[in-house]
Structure 1
Amino acid sequence: MPEEVLFETESSRSREEIADYLRTVADRLESDGSVSLSAGSQSVTMDVPSRPTFEVKAERETSSSGGPGELSLELEIEWDEGGNGGESGGDLSIE
């Protein structure tokens, strides 16, 4: 299925700034589920259903030149448009 990017931004942030963004998203998810994103001329509002799929992924991307690779922690919330959510993949623990 082709992918259409509705919003994208990437910038260097402190851990504290990232935590603030995540807290805001968490607060919006707990309230009405409506999350609005904006940066520059881009903006999008998404209404997250009550039971979306939550994907957590830790990755290491190796460098083809033999230098240091890149580590990433990805947190993804996804759902079918017009749907109520997805499958359960087991219990998640984050410490």
Structure 2
Amino acid sequence: MPEEVLFETENTQSRTEIARYLRAVADKLDGGDAVTLKAGNQSVTLDPPTNPVFEVKAERETSSSGSSELSVEFELEWKEGDSGGDGGGGSLEIE
């Protein structure tokens, strides 16, 4: 399936700044509101359904030189016009 990037930004932030962004998204989700992302001249508003699929992934990428990069990704997924479904896969716990 072809991918169309609607919005993308990447820059170095402090842990505190990242937490502020995540809290703002969490508050929008908790309130049932749409989420608007803005950076420079880019802007997109998304309105996740009540039950989107929530994917959490931790990865280690190792380059050919042997250095590695760690990442954690949080992703909400849903089909356009879908009200959400059962993501399966068991309960997520964050400690």
Q: Which residue of 2 aligns with 1:24?
A: 24
Identity, % of aligned positions:
66
Q: Which runs of 5+ in 1 are unaligned?
A: none
Question: Any idea what SS the aligned residue of 1:56 has?
Answer: strand
Q: Number of matched residues?
A: 94
Corresponding residue for residue 58 of structure 1: 58
For the aligned residues, what is the CA RMSD? 0.8
Normalising by the residue count of structure 1, what TM-score does the alignment of the two structures yield? 0.95
**Structure 1 equivalent of residue 46 of structure 2:** 46
Whole-Å separation in 2 of the counterparts to 1:51 and 1:88: 12
- Conserved? CA contact 1:38–1:44, under 8 Å: yes
* Structure 1 position 88, deviation (Å): 2.1
Matches within 5 A, 1:1-95: 1-66=1-66, 68-86=67-85, 87-95=87-95
Report the Cα distance in structure 1 between the residues aligned to 2:88 and 2:13, rounded to whole angstroms: 32
- Report if the CA contact (8 A) 2:60-2:71 is conserved: yes
Mapped partners of 1:84, 1:59: distance in 2: 29
Distance 1:54 1:32 in 2: 16
Give the SS at the match of 1:54.
strand
Structure 1: which 4+ aligned runs deviate by more than 3 Å?
Answer: none
